[in-house]
C-alpha cells in the first residue's frame, strides 16, 4: 500500500488497481465521525474484525459476512447498515446492530428460506444467533429516518457515524 496525503491506497482485490480507503479513522473518543460511511465488506472486515482481547470481533464479523451473502441473494434489499459498538474501537462489541433497508412497496409473498432469514428478526436470530439486532425498514419511510437518527447517536447522545455495506 502507498500513503498519499493521509489516504492509504491499497490494491483493489484481484485487480491490481489502487483504490482509496473509504472508512475514516476513529475520533479521539473511539467512534466514527458523523455520517454514513460506505465500504466494501472486505474493508469492513479488515478494519473491525481484528483480534483484540478476544476473538469476539472476528466471530461477529463472520456472522456479518454470512448475513451479507444471504442478503445479496435476496430480492428487495437495497441497503445494509452497521451501527453500534461493532463500528467503534470498543475491544469487545456487545452485538451486531444492523439496519436492513428494503425497496418501497416490496411484496413479501412466497419468501424463500434465505429471504426469511434476512427480512425477519425471528428467522435472522434462528439462523445467525441472538447477537444480531436486526431492524428491517422500508426505503424512504419515516421509520427509516427515525432509525437513522437513533443509530447515529450513542448512549450519551453524542453524534456517531455508521457504516453502509456496499452490496
pLDDT band at 151 (very low <50, low <70, confident <90, very high): very high
Residue 17, pLDDT > 80, answer no
Whether 21 contacts 43, CB under 8 Å: yes
Element (H, E) at 83: strand 77-83
Cell of 163: 457504516
Please tell me the least confidently modeled range out of 60-74, 99-113, 126-140: 99-113
- Total count of residues recorded for the chain: 167
For helices 121-128 and 56-72, the axis angle rounded to 10 degrees is 130
Residue 16, pLDDT > 60, answer no
Top pLDDT among 117 and 149 is at 149
CA–CA distance, 145 with 19 (Å, rounded to integer): 31
Helix-, strand-, coil-residue percentages of the chain, each rounded to 5: 30, 25, 40
Residue 68, pLDDT > 50, answer yes
Residue 105, pLDDT > 90, answer no
3-state secondary structure of 81: strand
For helices 41-48 and 56-72, the axis angle rounded to 10 degrees is 170
Distances 61 to 125, 131, 139 between C-alpha atoms, Å = 15, 11, 25
Whether 144 contacts 90, CB under 8 Å: no
Residue 1, pLDDT > 60, answer no
CA–CA distance, 69 with 91 (Å, rounded to integer): 25
Amino acid at each position: 500500500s502507498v500513503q498519499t496525503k493521509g489516504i492509504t491506497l491499497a490494491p483493489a482485490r484481484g485487480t491490481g488497481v489502487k483504490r482509496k480507503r473509504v472508512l475514516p479513522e476513529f475520533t479521539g473518543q473511539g467512534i466514527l465521525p458523523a455520517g454514513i460511511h460506505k465500504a466494501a465488506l472486505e474493508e469492513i472486515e479488515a478494519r473491525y474484525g481484528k483480534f483484540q482481547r478476544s476473538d469476539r470481533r472476528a466471530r461477529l464479523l463472520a456472522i456479518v459476512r454470512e448475513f451479507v451473502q444471504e442478503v445479496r441473494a435476496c430480492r428487495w434489499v437495497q441497503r445494509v447498515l452497521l451501527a453500534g459498538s461493532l463500528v467503534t474501537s470498543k475491544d469487545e462489541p456487545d452485538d451486531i446492530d444492523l439496519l436492513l433497508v428494503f425497496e418501497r412497496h416490496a411484496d413479501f409473498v412466497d419468501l424463500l428460506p434465505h429471504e426469511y432469514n434476512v427480512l425477519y428478526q425471528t428467522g435472522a436470530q434462528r439462523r445467525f444467533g441472538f447477537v444480531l439486532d436486526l431492524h428491517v425498514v422500508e426505503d424512504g419511510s419515516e421509520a427509516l429516518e427515525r432509525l437513522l437518527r437513533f443509530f447515529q447517536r450513542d448512549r450519551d447522545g453524542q453524534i456517531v457515524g455508521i457504516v453502509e455495506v456496499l452490496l
